[in-house]
Amino acid sequence: MSVLADFEATSVPVDQARALRLEIEDFNRSYAAILDEGRVEDWPDCFADGALYRITGRENADANLPVGLVYCEGIGMLRDRALAIARTMMFAPRYLLHQVTNERVLALAADGAISATANYALYETLVDQRTTLLQVGRYWDRFVRIDGTLKLRERHCVYDSLIIDTALIYPV
């Protein structure tokens, strides 16, 4: 098994699921562009106030262990993290590139929250080196709509395997 405990797929009306899927695709592509273009200071704006963000391995996720490699709760922690990363990137420049695919809408909660998932591949290129596949994995997301715009209330980045080659882990 490899679905987070509370991300079971339930029935969503086809037309609604289609419209939400396209909107979530747009969201994920803007999110990826922020990270790939090094605009990490804009990254926290993708999240709702009390949002949870974590990066964890599939074994951990399958065992339903809450903690992982990275764990942020609340927009304050996300902003702190973004700031630390922005500073680091000045000293160790690198190029990132996300390919985000396979978006699926899984469920709609009574409070309007949208559960969704997507697959990602994250490539890193250091100066004058070959491109490395840093990780492949899945996003497990809970979206809410704030002033008409989708924001993440939860994003669990669950990687299949990880090449840990940096002191500071970048957002995924």
Footprint of its own copies on 96-115 (CB under 8 A) = 97-104
86 binds its own copies (CB under 8 A): no
Write the interaction track for its own copies spanning residues 45-74; mark x where CB under 8 A is met and - where it is not. -------------x----------------
- Exposure class string for 149-169: b at 16+ Cβ within 10 A, else e: ebbbbbbbbbbeebeeeeeee
Which residue from 41, 73, 83, 161 is in contact with its own copies, where contact means CB under 8 A?
161
33 makes contact with its own copies (CB under 8 A): yes
Please, where are the H alpha helices in 37-127? 58-62, 75-91
Going by C-alpha positions, the residue among 165, 91, 89 that lies closest to residue 133 is 165
CA dihedral over 17, 100, 34, 52, signed as positive or negative: positive
The residues of the shown chain that bind its own copies, judged by CB under 8 A, are 1-3, 17-18, 21-22, 26, 28-30, 32-33, 36-38, 58, 95, 97-104, 117, 119, 121, 123, 125, 129-131, 133, 135-138, 160-161, 163
